Structure formats: C-alpha cells, structure tokens
Amino acid sequence: SQQGEEDPQALSIQEGENATMNCSYKTSINNLQWYRQNSGRGLVHLILIRSNEREKHSGRLRVTLDTSKKSSSLLITASRAADTASYFCATDGGGSYIPTFGRGTSLIVHP
Amino acid sequence: NAGVTQTPKFQVLKTGQSMTLQCAQDMNHNSMYWYRQDPGMGLRLIYYSASEGTTDKGEVPNGYNVSRLNKREFSLRLESAAPSQTSVYFCASSEGTVPIGGKNIQYFGAGTRLSVL
C-alpha cells in the first residue's frame, strides 16, 4: 500500500509558471524523496530531504517538509515544456529502508 | 556507464506461458528491486534483494519468483502468466540497506512492457 499520496493527480500549466505538487504520508519517516518519470521511461531521482530538514533546493526545484503535518511539497519554478512528466514522492521509515511510492502527479507544461 | 539495464523492452505472452525478465546494474549496488506499475496504482514492490544471496517478498509477490544471480543481476520470473500480470515492470537498484546518506536512493531501468493475452 502507498505511504505517500500526491496531490493534485494532474496539473496543467503554461511555460514560465510555477508548479507546486504536494505529498502527504501517514507514519513517521526517515527520508522523503521526489522522483520524475518521463513518458515511457523509468523513474529518475530528483531530491532527498531528511526528516530533520525543512527545506532543500536543487536548481529550479524547492522541496519543503513539514513533519508535524506529515506533508511535503515540490515546487518547480519557471516551468519548461521539458518538465512535462509524472512526479512521485517516496518515503521510508518505520524500520524499512525501502522507499514506498505514491501514485504520482502528472504535470503538463504547455509551451 | 549504463546504470540499470532491463531486457526485454517489450513482450507479449499468452496466458499460461512463462518468461524471465532480466535486470543488470553496473553501479556495484548491494540492493536490487522489482516493481510493477499499473495505471492509477503507482509503483508496487514485487520482490527485493537487500544483498547478494538474499531475496524477500514485497507488496505483491504472488505469481512471481526472483533470483539474485550475482551482485549485478536480479531476474524476475513469471511461471504461468495471467492477464492480471499485464503491466510495466521496473527494476531498480540502490547502494545500500540503510536510509542514511542517500544510500537508499533508487536507480531505475527503462522498464519492460508486458502484455498477457
């Protein structure tokens, strides 16, 4: 069963806009990761945030983590058509090192 | 450096046929995984191998078997394929078995698209 659940399921924006997607989870975690999946391809790791971190940046990506609310958000700034993909959060914790993936957010960026 | 390589990329089977999906990684990773991805279901773990010589069931192991042939290779076998096993199968690997220092970041292959008729 999924630990993380992404919201929204689908997001459609124009190039240049910011895209925000959220992930909620149910039990305590060690880490939360975000992955991207382009159509017909495997998942690619984007960023990992530890449970004792609140915010992390990587290029145009900004991830926040609120452990009190058991939620995380992924912000992609100045979106490009190439950012069109599905985005998944994955959490590990409760004694398991294997990340559990959510169902993903499908992002479409229109040029 | 190829990363994680899966073969075949596509496969069509008839109900009851058997097949083996192959996976190899060249990153000297200890842990390897098999997932299936179905529309609306996200990724579900079938089996994993924490280290060479060990395998464990994941969330949806029924109808599958695995073999960790060596540190590089981890195969998934369908003994008697069923239409419910129509899916996209992904192999992944990670450096280690502890969620510290990014050791459990997963690296994925491109997937095998399997149809069972």
pLDDT at position B1 is: 66
pLDDT at position B96 is: 82
Range in A36-50, B64-78, B94-108 the model is least confident about: B94-108
Which two three-digit tokens encode residue B40?
A: 């609306």
Give the closest-approach CA distance of B17 to chain A in angstroms. 25
SS3 label, residue A107: strand
Rounded Cα distance between B2 and B27, Å, is 9
For A32, residues 6+ apart whose C-beta sits below 8 A from its C-beta are: A4, A23, A25, A48, A49, A51, A63, A65, A72, A89, A90, A91
Over residues A85-102, the mean pLDDT reads 88
Over residues A3-21, the mean pLDDT reads 93
Interface with A, mutate which of B5, B37, B59 (most A CBs under 10 A): B37
Does the structure show a pLDDT above 80 at A63? Answer: yes
Over residues A42-67, the mean pLDDT reads 96
pLDDT at position A5 is: 86
Interface with B, mutate which of A3, A38, A44, A98 (most B CBs under 10 A): A98
